[in-house]
Amino acid sequence: MKINKSIGILIVILLSQVSLQAQEIYDSSDLYFEKAKASIANEEFSRAAKLSWRGLQLAPDDLDLKTLLGAANLQLGRYDTARWVLRQVYEKRRKNPDILKYLVNIEQTTQRYSDAICFVNELLEITPYSRGWHMRKIAIYKEMGNYEEAERALKRIYQIYPNDSQLKEEYNYIMIGDGDEAIKSKNYEEASEIYKTIITNTPENKDAYIGIIRNEMQKGNPEAALQYTNRSLLELPLDRELVEKKIGLLEALGRHEEAIVYIESQPIKDAFPDIYKNTRPYLMQQSADFNEYNDPYEINKKLAETGNSVALDYVIKNSLGKGYYVDAEYFLNIALKRSPNSKDYLIKQMELYKATLNTEEYNKSVLALHEKFPTDTDITYAYNKLMYDTAKDYVASNQDQLALPIFEELVSSPDFQKEAEQQIYGIYISQQKYDEATDQIDKLIGLDPNNPDFLRRKSTLYQEMELFDDALEITRNLEQNYPLNQTYPALYVDQIEAYATYLMREQRYRAVIPVVEDGLSRENNNKRLLDIAINAASAIPDYEKGINYGLSALSFYPNNKNFKLKLSNLYSQNKEYTKAKGVLDTLRTTYIYDRKIKNALAEVLFYRAKAQEEDGLVEEALVNYDSAVSLNPDDRGSLMRMVNLHITQKPSDESLDFINEQLEERPDDNFLKYKKGIVFELLKQYDSAYYYQKFREIDNPFEKQEWNLVLETLRAAQLKNQIAATYLQATSDSIAFSTSLASLNYSREYTKMTYGADINYAARTSGVGVQGGVNVSRIFTETIYADVGLLVGSRFFPKLKLYGNAYKGFKSGYEAQVGLSFARLQNDQNYLTLSLGASRTWEDIWVQARLSFSPTSVPFVDDSTIPSTTTFQSFLYTNVMVQARINVNARKDYFSVIVSGGSAPFDQQLEFQDNTFLNFTNVMVGAGYMYHMTPRSSLLVNGTWINFLSNQTTNNQIVLDQIYTNQYNLSVSFITRF
């Protein structure tokens, strides 16, 4: 039959989907889920059922869709269908409160009460203090007719929520019934305890008073019944039933006059005129008949009126004892008129005020008596009790400054010493005066050394003072001395938790571990301690230990999402990315739409990608960065590193395409726009670079100002023309010479071509030299470019110089250079130079190294022969040079240094000397600074110091004498674009 029923449910569901297939079709179960969820929110339950069913065709095991399907069918009243679907989810998610709630509703509605109770019990295991589910359980028991279990359940929840007015009312109702049953069974003592409990909890409960009055009457104790009646009237002074009950009891006790006086009191007279009119005459008649000859109290009252002191004392004593407070007040006033300073009468007056709850007069009476009779023990006790209660009221109203001196005075009273000392301790604790509190708790321990509660308080005080080691020592001793008391082991673990939390807050992570392990040795499944242990190990960092704690936590709480997330993070930090991803994948099967889990997985992929990037695995890193961004679109770190990696490792055209793709998804992302500007700058498209780099977001005002200068520099880079004027002064401290050089350079840029012209001018005492030339450079690809030039000069410059250089860029900022130059000097000597160089660029640093080789043949003329003969000798001159530039600010002002050495001077293609020194070793060091005065104009200052061998004396090719010369060069260049 179950199989047939399931088939029938399936057919019903299938038929209900027919109309949907022609209306809403999606290719993703996630879309069906979102639409169904929205439909339930809009109370479109039929549509929600259809959408969730359709989604299950794409994802048959999707528990979230099944949950929506069950919820929708529940609302549609299809209880069998809802139960069938939700039971499948329940088997997978037994602790899911929503599923259990749905099943409770289904089973209660279909009157399958036992199943409903089972599901409620499971919910109470998850949330044991849920008032709503306890009340639901009681309601189900009542529907079943199982009132006994309903009462038990109500009593249990009332213990949890004693201040809940609704629970209190229902609890009292049940207890009243129990009291009535006890009276019927003649269990009077049990009934009395029940009614007293109700009255204590709810002093205004009339039914409890009626019950206890009836109980005392059946016990044959009308005097006690009258006392409870009087007490009830303090709470319900004008309740007719209770008023009539008091009058009847007074009549039954023969206390007619007291009943008459009560009826004649103004509140009763005004509230119940019929009682005054009808009952009062009746009682007066009954009183006359009863008291005429029988009541000694009445006889003594008459005697007291005549001045008989013995009768007066008798009446006062009996009226106080029997509750005849009106008589007591009347005759006490007579007595005090006769003896106004009588200690005995004044004390009785104080007792009368206390009995009639006249607090104000009672307090005045106590103070007056204490002032008159300060040595009387009873009066002193009453005074001290009044002071103690007053001080407690001050404490309750947060007036500790008023309470403290009273308690300090009460310490001298043996009856109140311990209580006062405890109150003083409490005040010091509330005021956080921990030193005073420490002295105070030591006093209490001295008063009662065997009281473990005082030691427990001292331990918790030390805990409050963050003296955790001392607190734990005391608690350990309490455990040893009281092994059967389970309070102290629990306190010890609580203090361990507080200690570990404190150490974590103080960032003393290594100290946390032994503390936590102490706690775990007592309670190895303590969720809080396991959580702290994981956090501390991660912060140290000791990822292996943290992983072990995480695995231990999951052995106790295998489905705990928090522990799984932390274990995944630890695996990730330990670079065990596969394990980290595996843990998160198990969570994703359960929490398909959980954003926190998706973000955690994105973080794992980020760290994996970062490690791959550091290992040079560019493609793998890009894939993982992209996956991280897909999982968490708000993951700025992955997005930024992915973009930066594209820019540094991929061709600029490809990087530009990639950033454009990202901008299609995030059109308002200023970071992507800024990086797009960086790519345009690399492509030397400065107009676009300027436009997009304006989107860079900078909060610091100073940095913003600096960045605006950079932008203006970019704008200036759009200008095609550049001119540079240079002046160089060369001097020496070894020989008397000084010479100068002036240069003028012009260039114009096109898309991929740059054309330039140079003119150099030098003047010496021997004449004037001029050098002029042209040059051109071309960009072939994004990473390959080259330049060539021709220089022609006179006098001090080479006759002819032809040069060319080619450059190739590589990943990570590397660049290679090869150059070739040919120079013919004024003496027709030829030099061919090959240069090989490499450089690397970081964000603000550029470093270059270059090695030059210059083979040549030098003619030697021998005049000793006739005719003279000329021979050629081959030489190979070399030079190695290293230079660096460091940007020092956002304007890209830079500081440069240069070092070179070899058998030929470093040649910057600025030839103004004859190659006189090629046969001699030389060393050059120098430094310079480029200052951008405006975005268009710059000032460059360079200084170099060259030390070389300027002359030597030889004999038969043996060097006899060497002379070294220092030459100092200082040049200033002004560069501007227009």
pLDDT of 590 above 90 = no
pLDDT of 168 above 80 = no
> Is the bond leading into 449 cis (omega within 30 degrees of zero)?
no
DSSP structural state of residue 265:
S
Share of the chain above pLDDT 70, in %: 90
**Residue 111: which region, alpha, beta or left (left: phi > 0; alpha: psi -120 to 50)?**
left
By CB atoms closer than 10 A (0-12, 13-18, 19+), residue 398 is exposed
By CB atoms closer than 10 A (0-12, 13-18, 19+), residue 180 is middle
pLDDT of 950 above 70 = no
Query: How many other CB atoms are there within 10 angstroms of residue 723's CB atom?
Result: 15
Q: Which long-range contacts (CB under 8 A, 24 or more apart) does 99-104 make?
A: 99/67, 99/70, 100/126, 102/67, 102/70, 102/71, 102/74, 104/136
Can you give the pLDDT at residue 534? 92
pLDDT of 690 above 60 = yes
Confidence of residue 564 (pLDDT cuts 50, 70, 90): confident
pLDDT of 792 above 50 = yes
User: CA–CA distance from 783 to each of 649, 678, 806 (Å)?
Assistant: 12, 16, 11
Can you give the pLDDT at residue 865? 65
Can you give the pLDDT at residue 203? 84
| Residue owning tokens 């409050």 | 464
**Residue 157: which region, alpha, beta or left (left: phi > 0; alpha: psi -120 to 50)?**
alpha
| Residue owning tokens 């005429």 | 292
* 955: its two tokens: 């004999």
**Residue 413: which region, alpha, beta or left (left: phi > 0; alpha: psi -120 to 50)?**
beta
Lowest mean pLDDT among 228-232, 462-466, 656-660, 825-829: 825-829
Query: How many other CB atoms are there within 10 angstroms of residue 892's CB atom?
Result: 15
Q: Among 123-132, 584-593, 933-942, which range has the highest average pLDDT?
A: 933-942
* Higher local confidence (pLDDT), 840 or 965: 840
Report pLDDT digits (tens) over 880-889. Answer: 999 999 998 8
SS3 for 809? strand
User: CA–CA distance from 829 to each of 287, 797, 856 (Å)?
Assistant: 157, 12, 8
Residues 353, 341 contacting (CB under 8 angstroms): no
Lowest mean pLDDT among 302-316, 344-358, 630-644: 302-316
Angle at 340 between CA 339 and CA 344, to 5 degrees: 70
* HEC assignment per residue over 509-544: HHHHHHHHHHHHHHCCCCHHHHHHHHHHHHHCCCHH
DSSP structural state of residue 811:
G
Can you give the pLDDT at residue 512? 92
* 608: its two tokens: 């994996």
Give the global pTM.
0.46
Can you give the pLDDT at residue 22? 41
Residues 902, 877 contacting (CB under 8 angstroms): yes
Residues 488, 453 contacting (CB under 8 angstroms): no
pLDDT of 1 above 70 = no
Confidence of residue 842 (pLDDT cuts 50, 70, 90): confident
pLDDT of 329 above 70 = yes
Lowest mean pLDDT among 31-40, 181-190, 303-312, 906-915: 906-915
Lowest mean pLDDT among 103-112, 261-270, 287-296, 672-681: 287-296
pLDDT of 954 above 70 = no
SS3 for 164? coil
Q: Please, what are the domains in the chain?
A: 24-93 (1.25.40.10), 95-161 (1.25.40.10), 165-236 (1.25.40.10), 296-465 (1.25.40.10)
CA distance 118 to 94: 12
* 963: its two tokens: 């002379």
Confidence of residue 3 (pLDDT cuts 50, 70, 90): very low
Can you give the pLDDT at residue 767? 80
Q: What type of residue sits at position 769?
A: G
Can you give the pLDDT at residue 896? 95
Confidence of residue 909 (pLDDT cuts 50, 70, 90): very low
Candidates 746, 826, 765, 750; CA nearest to 792 is 826
Helix (H) / strand (E) containing 825: none
Query: Interhelix angle for 527-539 vs 561-573, to 10°?
Result: 20
Confidence of residue 906 (pLDDT cuts 50, 70, 90): low
Question: Please, what is the end-to-end C-alpha distance for the chain in angstroms?
Answer: 94
Can you give the pLDDT at residue 23? 52
Query: Interhelix angle for 240-252 vs 206-218, to 10°?
Result: 20
CA distance 459 to 478: 10
Query: How many other CB atoms are there within 10 angstroms of residue 879's CB atom?
Result: 21
User: CA–CA distance from 453 to each of 160, 311, 421, 440, 879 (Å)?
Assistant: 24, 53, 14, 14, 90
Phi, psi of 872 (to 5 degrees): -110, 135
- Average pLDDT rounded to a whole number, residues 139-157: 76
Phi, psi of 448 (to 5 degrees): -145, 80
Q: Among 126-140, 144-158, 490-504, 848-862, which range has the highest average pLDDT?
A: 490-504
Report pLDDT digits (tens) over 440-461. Answer: 888 888 888 888 988 888 898 8
Q: Mean pLDDT in the chain?
A: 84
| Residue owning tokens 């150099």 | 760
User: CA–CA distance from 47 to each of 15, 17, 68, 101, 371 (Å)?
Assistant: 13, 9, 11, 22, 85
CA distance 186 to 276: 37
Largest CA distance in the chain: 186
By CB atoms closer than 10 A (0-12, 13-18, 19+), residue 671 is middle
By CB atoms closer than 10 A (0-12, 13-18, 19+), residue 591 is middle
DSSP codes, 369-437: HHHH-TT-HHHHHHHHHHHHHHHHHHHHTT-HHHHHHHHHHHTTSTTTHHHHHHHHHHHHHHTT-HHHH
SS3 content of the chain, % helix, strand, coil (to 5): 60, 20, 20
pLDDT of 612 above 80 = yes
- Average pLDDT rounded to a whole number, residues 57-64: 85
Chain CA centroid to CA 549, Å:
22
DSSP structural state of residue 826:
T
Instruction: Tell me the sheet residues that pair with 816.
Output: 808, 838
